[in-house]
Amino acid sequence: MNLSIEILTTVVELINCADKTVSVLKNINNSDDKEFEVLCIENRLKSLLPVLKSTEKSIRRDNLKADKPKLLQDLEIKASELWNSIAIFMRDNREEYTSSLCYAKVFATILLSLHESLNPSVSRKFRISECFIKTFYVCLDNDQKELAEVLKDNIDSFFNLLENLKDEYTTEEKVKYKEAKIRLSFMNIQFSLLEKNYNLCKFYESQANILENITDGYVKPIDGFNIARVFYNTGLTLFNENNLDESYIFLKKSCFVIEKIIEHNDVKVLEKEENFKNLRQSSLNLLIKCCIKKEDPYSIEESQKLLNLSLKVTPLTQNISKAY
């Protein structure tokens, strides 16, 4: 079934909005009031987001098609330009406006999904699944939890599409699908921890099978680092709340993930990543503190084993040994 004139008009309006936003972002450094421009972008896209979501949902539900090659081309170009422009602006203005542009990031992501709904392909679906996950983390990193929840509905629906196609995948696509499912589990782990739902977190952990999938090469070092960071931050929060038993569990998870990444990746590459080294050291330090505070001989013995394991790996271990 082809698009109705109402939906066609809406899609054109969404394309024009994306085009205008890209133009503003490209010239924003010449503006006399950058903050005002950013707030205008936020409010404009925030107001259009429900329209975009409902349009994309209708197109997928009714399996609508657009026999308009020029429209599809414009939609893809402007959605991609918007995504890239926002990414560049957030990178260059990391401390100032990233939170305000979270709505724009979500808008760009769903606009890409809208294009895929009108011009479906498996390769696009995998690319957009990564965009969804990245945007979700951007929202969380900028304390936009409610917006992340809104996006999560789209993510769940989108991954259902991937699930429904799994029997048709090629061998290469099956690998990409598994990697995508792991990233989804990582996202759900983080969200369940934000909700302090530790039982749900354990369920998603079992789905992710983190250590085994790192060993098998399905988890990229950056994704492993991110989930280790999530475990560390949870352990730190619990430690500060004097919940030592739960803190110990999450700090140990962080350490095990980090060591598994080191075991199965090029250490010379990892040592160049300062954030990775810092996380490794912080996780070990806090785990030792937690064990000492617990006064539990078993947990102290376990952490000592982990420390001994880390000291076998060079050259990352140089900073670790200095800490003790």
Q: What is the pLDDT of residues 264-305, one digit of tens each?
A: 888 777 766 778 888 988 998 899 889 888 877 887 787 777
Tokens of 247: 């803190």
Q: How confident is the model at residue 322 (pLDDT cuts 50, 70, 90)?
A: very low
DSSP bridge pairs for 2: 65
Q: 92 with 182, same domain?
A: no
Q: 129 with 116, same domain?
A: no
Q: Indicate if the pLDDT at residue 33 is higher than 60.
A: yes
Average pLDDT over residues 107-119: 97
Q: How confident is the model at residue 318 (pLDDT cuts 50, 70, 90)?
A: very low
Q: Indicate if the pLDDT at residue 201 is higher than 80.
A: yes
Q: 195 with 222, same domain?
A: no
Of 59, 93, 120, the residue that ends a domain is: 120
Q: Taking the mean position of all CA atoms in its chain, how far away is CA 152?
A: 11
Report the range of poorest mean pLDDT among 54-68, 149-163, 279-293, 301-315.
Answer: 301-315
Q: 152 with 65, same domain?
A: no
Report the range of poorest mean pLDDT among 156-170, 187-201, 206-220, 256-270.
Answer: 256-270
Domain membership of residue 80 as a residue range: 1-120
Q: 222 with 137, same domain?
A: no
Of 190, 207, 224, the residue that ends a domain is: 207
Q: Residue 63's CB: how many other CB atoms inside 10 A?
A: 9
Q: Indicate if the pLDDT at residue 313 is higher than 60.
A: no
pTM of the model: 0.85
Q: 175 with 221, same domain?
A: no
Average pLDDT over residues 41-55: 95
Q: What are phi and psi of 257, to 5 degrees?
A: -65, -45
Q: Indicate if the pLDDT at residue 97 is higher than 90.
A: no
What percent of the chain is modeled with pLDDT above 90? 66
Of 120, 138, 168, the residue that ends a domain is: 120
Q: 130 with 106, same domain?
A: no
Q: 203 with 243, same domain?
A: no
Q: How far apart are CA 314 and CA 266, in angstroms?
A: 11
pLDDT at 317: 46
Q: 146 with 115, same domain?
A: no
Residue 12, CA atoms < 13 Å, CB-side half-sphere = 9
Q: 45 with 131, same domain?
A: no
How many domains are contained in the chain?
Answer: 3
Q: 193 with 308, same domain?
A: no
Q: 59 with 83, same domain?
A: yes
Q: Indicate if the pLDDT at residue 321 is higher than 80.
A: no
Average pLDDT over residues 125-154: 92
Nearest to 3 by CA among 53, 68, 75, 77: 68
Q: Indicate if the pLDDT at residue 320 is higher than 70.
A: no
Q: How confident is the model at residue 180 (pLDDT cuts 50, 70, 90)?
A: very high
Q: How confident is the model at residue 310 (pLDDT cuts 50, 70, 90)?
A: low
